């Protein structure tokens, strides 16, 4: 896929997420802006049942409204012990407009129930790990000038920790523990996170598609 318009609007108002997109895509020659840079952009209702459905809906609606390429992601946390929750509801797990703190509090409350105790383990440093989990990201880029769509997906495996660690990242990052690093996602630098994260994996695949490499 080749874009004549080198400015891409990322369908998010989340500044943390926007920084991650810019760090990965601007070296490829793209100018990345967010919805805060385009006042009046519509709020897209994420009512799809899958990450891919939500990402596609956001990309198409924003691109069509603005008349320029739009990149949207739907990403979230899938916790094994909870049967995949919160999944597509990750950003609003504790209700519409919920803060990261509220979502994390609900997640920990759910995993503190007695029926989940048998699945917990201890990390080498003694940190209690409550359940296996994965971060999933689906990206959809839509160019209204050509009608072309590109979709990519990335995942990363880890565990949900019983306590928060680290000041970086956003969302569930302080509780998402990576055994191979001995740290949570929030304890990684931006460079380390982009190298291994679900969003980083999906963005690398997207960059390759834009370069005509895949």
pLDDT at 120: 87
Q: Radius of gyration over alpha carbons of the chain, in Å?
A: 18
- Please classify residue 135 by burial: count the beta carbons closer than 10 Å to its beta carbon, then call 0-12 exposed, 13-18 middle and 19+ buried: buried
pLDDT at 211: 63
Domain membership of residue 2 (yes or no) is no
Known binding residues for substrate are: 12-17, 75, 170-173, 193, 198-199
CATH code for the domain in which residue 86 is found:
3.90.950.10
pLDDT at 213: 40
Known binding residues for Mg(2+) are: 74
Q: How many domains does the chain have?
A: 1
Residues forming a β-bridge with 135? 77, 156
CA pair distance 113, 115, nearest whole angstrom: 6
Domain membership of residue 101 (yes or no) is yes
Known binding residues are: 12-17, 74-75, 170-173, 193, 198-199
Domain membership of residue 1 (yes or no) is no
Global pTM reads 0.85
Tens place of pLDDT for every residue, the chain, 214 residues?
667 668 999 999 888 888 888 888 888 788 999 999 888 888 898 899 999 999 999 999 999 999 999 999 999 999 999 999 999 999 999 999 899 999 999 999 999 998 887 788 999 899 999 999 999 999 999 999 999 999 999 999 999 999 999 998 889 999 999 999 999 999 999 888 888 989 889 998 998 888 654 4
Residues forming a β-bridge with 71? 10, 141
Asked if 93 and 110 touch (Cβ cutoff 8 Å), the reply is no
pLDDT at 212: 52
Question: Which residues have a catalytic role annotated?
Answer: 74
pLDDT at 173: 95
Domain membership of residue 129 (yes or no) is yes
Range of the domain at 142: 7-210
């Amino acid at each position: 896929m080749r874009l004549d318009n080198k400015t891409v609007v990322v369908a998010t108002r989340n500044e943390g997420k926007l920084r991650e997109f810019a760090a990965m895509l601007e070296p490829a020659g793209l100018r990345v802006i967010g919805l805060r840079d385009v006042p009046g952009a519509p709020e897209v209702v994420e009512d799809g049942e899958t990450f891919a459905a939500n990402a596609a809906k956001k990309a198409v609606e924003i691109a069509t409204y603005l008349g320029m390429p739009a990149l949207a992601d739907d990403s979230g946390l899938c916790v094994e012990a909870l049967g995949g929750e919160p999944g597509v509801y990750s950003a609003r797990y504790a209700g519409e407009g919920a803060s990261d703190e509220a979502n994390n509090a609900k997640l920990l409350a759910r995993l503190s129930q007695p029926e989940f105790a048998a699945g917990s383990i201890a990390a080498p440093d003694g940190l209690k790990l409550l359940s296996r989990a994965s971060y999933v990201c689906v990206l959809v880029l839509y160019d209204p000038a050509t009608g072309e769509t590109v979709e990519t997906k990335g995942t990363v495996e880890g565990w949900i920790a019983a306590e928060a660690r680290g000041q970086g990242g956003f969302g569930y990052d302080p509780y998402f523990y990576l055994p191979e690093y001995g740290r949570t996602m929030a304890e990684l630098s931006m460079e380390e996170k982009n190298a291994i994260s679900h969003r980083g994996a999906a963005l690398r695949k997207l960059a390759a598609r834009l370069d005509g490499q895949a």
